[in-house]
Amino acid sequence: MKSAERRVMVQARDVVKFYGRFKALDQVSLTIHEGEKIVIIGPSGSGKSTLLRSINRLEEIDGGSMVVNGMDLYSPKTDLTRVREEVGMVFQAFNLFPHKTVLENITLAQTVVRRRSREEAREKALGLLSKVGLSDKANAYPGRLSGGQQQRVAIARSLAMDPKIMLFDEPTSALDPEMIGEVLDVMKELAREGMTMAVVTHEMGFAREVADRVVFMDHGAVVEEEVPEQFFTSPKHPRARQFLSQIL
């Protein structure tokens, strides 16, 4: 792994997060380099999503620091929107804008945030739609699409911003089993193209195939960080062993 020479995209240091008195993140440190794909796994309530969501500050942290794309998220000088436009995010619930067509979903932020012209945004959107295999759905409303199709549109919507890193928060957890594959295929394709990715998922096959590193979390802490081969065959930590025996 020659990650040492690569640019650091995300640098989380000793991140602490409380929900009331519940400690959701307990001194979590994580580094993601440019081009790296990490998969975060762990039992529910272990803080995976919270950690991911703190990377674009959808979740406020209560301690530690978070530097993304060279910008300190908590520095008063940082314009948060400038950080977020470089950080794509895909949600479990898709969160497409139901009052806008598929095409409008993908062009909105391009025109409003990136200030691209309508034609430019449209062209970009159509290109991405064909990439995720939904060219024929450009003028449909999200409500008319299946879950898998909606999630692929959501990925296209994020990609339209030309993000430097993509965050995936359980992107297939709300999907019927037969639709999981089509979404994972898009994500694998993205990984092959060299996108920096952080993925929270329960899809172990995906983790094994795509991840450069698997980050195992439990009780708000990173318990083990390992290459997938090593992690899945001989996990060091007993909790990781227990978790894997339960799901595999």
Partner 1 sequence: MTFKEPTKQKVDVGDGAAIPTKSDRGLFTAWRFAFVGAIGALAYLAWSKPDPYLEIIRFVPDGIAVTFKVTVGAILLALVFGLITGLGRISSNRFFNGLASLYVEVIRGIPLLVQIFYIYYALGRFVKIPDLFSAIIAMAVCYGAYMGEVFRAGIQSIPKGQMEAALSLGMTREQAMGHVILPQAFKVVLPPVGNEFIALLKDSSLVSILAVADLLRRGREYASESFTYFETYTVIALIYLIITLFFSKLIGIMEERINEER
**Shortest distance in whole angstroms from residue 127 CB to partner 1:** 18
Is the sign of the CA dihedral 55, 215, 218, 88 positive or negative? positive
User: Is 216 one of the binding residues for partner 1 (CB under 8 A)?
Assistant: no
> Could you tell me which stretch among 107-115, 126-134, 189-197, 230-238 binds partner 1 (CB under 8 A)?
107-115
Q: To the nearest 10°, report the CA torsion of 106, 111, 117, 123.
A: -10
Beta-strand ranges (E) seen in the chain are 8-19, 22-33, 37-41, 63-68, 71-72, 87-90, 165-169, 196-200, 213-218, 221-226
Question: 54, 155, 170, 217: which one contacts partner 1 (CB under 8 A)?
Answer: 170
Q: Which of residues 193-212 bind partner 1 (CB under 8 A)?
A: 202
Query: How far is it, in rounded angstroms, from Cα 213 to Cα 224?
Result: 10
**Shortest distance in whole angstroms from residue 97 CB to partner 1:** 6
User: Is 145 one of the binding residues for partner 1 (CB under 8 A)?
Assistant: no
Closest CA to 219 of 44, 21, 30, 31: 44
Long-range contacts made by residues 209-215, C-beta under 8 angstroms, separation at least 24? 210/37, 210/39, 211/37, 211/38, 211/39, 212/1, 212/3, 212/36, 212/37, 212/38, 213/36, 213/37, 213/38, 213/39, 214/38, 214/39, 214/40, 214/41, 215/30, 215/38, 215/39, 215/40, 215/41
User: Is 81 one of the binding residues for partner 1 (CB under 8 A)?
Assistant: yes
User: Is 70 one of the binding residues for partner 1 (CB under 8 A)?
Assistant: no
**Shortest distance in whole angstroms from residue 65 CB to partner 1:** 20
**Smaller CB separation from partner 1, 120 or 225:** 120
Q: Which of residues 26-65 bind partner 1 (CB under 8 A)?
A: 44, 56, 58
User: Is 89 one of the binding residues for partner 1 (CB under 8 A)?
Assistant: yes
> Could you tell me which stretch among 3-11, 93-101, 131-139, 237-245 binds partner 1 (CB under 8 A)?
93-101
Written as one letter, the residue type at 206 is F
User: Is 126 one of the binding residues for partner 1 (CB under 8 A)?
Assistant: no
> Could you tell me which stretch among 10-18, 120-128, 169-177, 231-239 binds partner 1 (CB under 8 A)?
169-177
Number of residues that bind partner 1 (CB under 8 A): 33
**Shortest distance in whole angstroms from residue 27 CB to partner 1:** 25
Closest CA to 74 of 94, 60, 88: 60
Give the footprint of partner 1 on this chain (CB under 8 A): 44, 56, 58, 81-82, 84-89, 91-93, 95-99, 108-109, 112-114, 143, 154, 157-158, 161, 170, 173-174, 202
